[in-house]
Chain A
Amino acid sequence: MAERGRAVQADSGVRLALALVVAAGPAMACGPEGAWRGTGSGPGGGVTAALVAEPAVRVSEPFALLVTLCGAGAPRLVRVDAGMPAHRHGMNYRPTLSAVGPGVWRAEGMVVHMPGAWEVRLDLEGGGSVRVPVTLR
């Protein structure tokens, strides 16, 4: 009985692991490896976002964000902003957006002016948003 119990537990563990991989699959597949990621929802349902900075983010230095959106209904990006939830303030700059390919946008003119925990907010066409945590040392 004990071995069967262990066998049942092992089987449950494998199934749980598989379930987690399946659930994470879309997020893991969205955007390049190493990107910052977050999830949210849009008009078509769940949305995953992947962010890559160009060049690498340095405090108070301008950079661009390459934003990849993945999800049902081909979500479209209309606005990018960022703030520090703990400090309750945003950026002093408003980036401009340009589409660079299917599901990919470039947000130019980002500047984060403090080290610490930021949250990038991506507003979607038709409503909804994705929030992506980004921590800068």
Chain B
Amino acid sequence: MPTELIIRRNEYQDSMVLMQINHKVAALPGVSRAAVLMATEPNKQILADYGFTSPEITGAKTSDMVIGLETNDDATLNEALELIDRLLVEKVKTRGRGRRFATLAAAAEAVPESSLVLVSTPGQFAAREAQRAIALNKHVFIFSDNVPLDDEVALKKAAGEKGLLVMGPDCGTAIIDGKGLGFANRVNPGPVGLIGASGSGMQEICVLLDAMGLGISQAIGLGGRDLSEPVGGATCRRALEMLAQDPASACLVVVSKPPSPKATRDLLDWASRSGKPVVLCLLGLEPATAGLELPSGVHLAASLEQAALMVGKLLGKGPAPWRREEIQTELDRAAADQARRLASGQGNLRGLFSGGSLCYEALALLRGRIGPLFSNLHLDGVENASPGQTPEGHLLLDLGDDEFTMGRVHPMIDPSAVAQRILSEAGDPQTAVVLFDVVLGHGAHPDPASLLVPALKAGQALAAEAGRHLICISHVCGTEQDPQELARQTQALQEAGCLVCASNQQAVQLAESILTENEL
């Protein structure tokens, strides 16, 4: 089995481009192992995990490209190398037409009126670029993760002194003056100002509000650590101040996992000072048991859907179209009908999520109601699931989490990981329900249904051959204006036998009703 290890010095390509190339090369018949990566420290570990180690790799720099290939024969090896070169050239040829610069400094000099820098470099270099941006008086959106905490604290302090906003690090979503940054749905402008530490949480609220005819003024991402003790909610505080002063924002929403008690107190304080109604959605926090004293004008929602409904009520819009009686009745009827077709022994839920916050919310909604619950996410009442382990109970996975995306593209961009998982879970005789999200919008896959439908059909056929019935429930998180076309995605999934819900909570409740009806 010929193995080739090539180091191309000073040939940098971004990680997304390389992963797509990696995917295509690995799919060539006769290729048993393929890795095309830049030689960053995390990637050297991935290469080692794939079985590619050598002193050359150890000594390679972050600007060096590493190509590792193991194939059946030399002819395939050559084919693979040719494919890599062809794809690299294609990438250059199909690049977006527009102005390109070698450095941030050069771009800032050419476009001095630019207001924001979007940073998505490897994590070890992100703070440096963000620092430069702040020095140039630009606001920053940092998509990169693995940025040292100390750097985040320093960046937000420097930005704060200049009245600049730092969204992130590890920030996936924002909408500023109608333009989506990172992964964001296409929405109308409107009176709701959104702030979120949870990307998919923000996306869910945006699409639900859109369905109720409410638009977004601004959606500000905080990044995963902003509301932690060391960072102290620096961006959250500034975002609330900015939205308080923004005439286009009439009602504000903050979505996050529950922060520490101190951060929660601060959040309530800042929210009350905004002078506008604020809906807080602290995923997993039950308002009834939280024991929080809410200042006037501040409301606590138990879920993302509830947050959207509360906003609707505050702004005189509603009810939720996706909960219209005829829609809900039909979903319930179809679910009960499918539940009757389950074989004995089928009792498990398999939740497959590309939106981390949607998975988190699902767990929060289900705990104490069905069990036992397993996940790669951590919540009280949920047990930890190690990769490759088949737990005795219900499993809900965030497939966008680091352990699943090492060397792979995020499932929002490429849902084939979700499709593969649907098929493998369908083969488990105890699986009753497969529940998954489909997140649309900018940055996401152009046609997720095209990848998911074949897996759904194959999974259902696999179950049917063995005398079982596979129930598929999907939540499509999207708007009519999204490039993937919400109606078309929904229809394709329904035609494949999937029960499709417009909210995460609706999908989770449907799954729960099936499982509790069929208590085995």
A interacts with B: no
Interface of A toward B, CB cutoff 8 Å? none
